[in-house]
């Protein structure tokens, strides 16, 4: 586990607004109490209505905007976690394809459905975004020149009610980690709304399942 810089998260979330939207795609699945998929969706983010864009931005933003190093914790993948067939490899593939590969998404939904503990129906939301990280001068003022393009995915797992309406996320993650204003593919930042009662299966059986 490592300490997350709060300023990195705030810089990223400032791009999560309707006017400065950083998301280009949204995908997800609805699962019943037993973890079986009831339905899926996958579309370009800007095809959503303005109302739905705002609703989904709020869901995604809840992950990096949560209380740093309390509800949002940083973890590192080791070599054993990054081998062929690992969840890390799956996440890298989802980031590379920008969520356009439904087969990869289906694998992830299946992994969560088999391992995630829930007494209610829930939804898995995936967001793909990119941020042109501006160069900072020595006085920390932006020079408005892009230093790198940080491409990332956010996952939010939310209980649902009514007509598949999501409640606030219970847990989720940001991958790859945004560390020192740069992409860190060996890190992941994991969110739990209840820091005292986290979904340990997200760590032990889903994200780091290769560890013995």
Give burial (CB, 10 Å; 0-12/13-18/19+) of 33: exposed
| Residue 1 counted as domain residue | no
The 10s digit of each residue's pLDDT in 159-201 is 998 888 999 999 999 999 999 999 999 999 999 999 999 999 9
Instruction: Flag whether 27 is in a domain.
Output: yes
**Tally of domains within the chain:** 1
For position 137, what pLDDT does the model report? 52
pLDDT for the residue numbered 15: 94
Cβ contact 151:91 at 8 Å: no
Q: Could you tell me if residue 109 is inside a domain?
A: yes
Flag whether 99 is in a domain. Answer: yes
Reading the block at residue 9, the tokens are 């998260």
Domain presence at residue 104:
yes
pLDDT at 145: 60
Residue 66 lies in a domain: yes
Provide the residue range defining the domain that includes 193: 6-207
The answer to whether residue 186 is domain-embedded is yes
pLDDT of residue 162: 83
pLDDT of residue 156: 98
**Res 19: pLDDT:** 94
Task: State the pLDDT at residue 163.
Answer: 84
Q: With H, G, I as helix, E, B as strand and everything else as coil, classify residue 77.
A: coil
DSSP string, 106-129: HHHHHHHHHH---SS-EEEEEEEE
| 105 part of a folded domain | yes
Give the pLDDT of residue 23: 98
Q: Which residues of the chain register pLDDT less than 70? A: 136-146, 210-212
pLDDT, residue 53, reads 97
In whole angstroms, what is the distance from residue 203 CA to residue 189 CA?
A: 11
């Amino acid at each position: 586990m490592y300490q997350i810089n709060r300023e990195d998260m705030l810089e990223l979330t400032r791009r999560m607004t309707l006017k400065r939207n950083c998301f280009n795609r949204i995908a997800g699945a609805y699962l019943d109490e037993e973890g079986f998929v009831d339905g899926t969706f996958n579309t370009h983010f800007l095809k959503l209505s303005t109302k739905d864009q705002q609703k989904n931005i709020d869901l995604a933003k809840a992950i990096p905007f949560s209380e740093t190093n309390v509800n949002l914790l940083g973890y590192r993948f080791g070599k054993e976690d990054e081998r062929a067939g690992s969840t890390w490899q799956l996440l890298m593939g989802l980031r590379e394809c920008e969520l356009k590969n439904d087969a990869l998404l289906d694998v992830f939904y299946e992994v969560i459905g088999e391992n995630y503990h829930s007494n209610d129906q829930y939804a898995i939301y995936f967001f793909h975004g990119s941020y042109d990280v501006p160069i900072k001068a020595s006085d920390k003022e932006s020079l408005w020149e892009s230093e790198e393009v940080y491409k990332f995915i956010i996952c939010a797992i939310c209980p649902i009610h009514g007509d598949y309406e999501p409640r606030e996320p219970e847990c989720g993650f940001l991958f790859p980690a945004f560390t020192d204003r740069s992409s860190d593919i060996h890190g992941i930042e994991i969110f739990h709304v209840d820091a005292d009662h986290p979904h340990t299966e997200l760590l032990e059986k889903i994200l780091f399942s290769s560890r013995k």
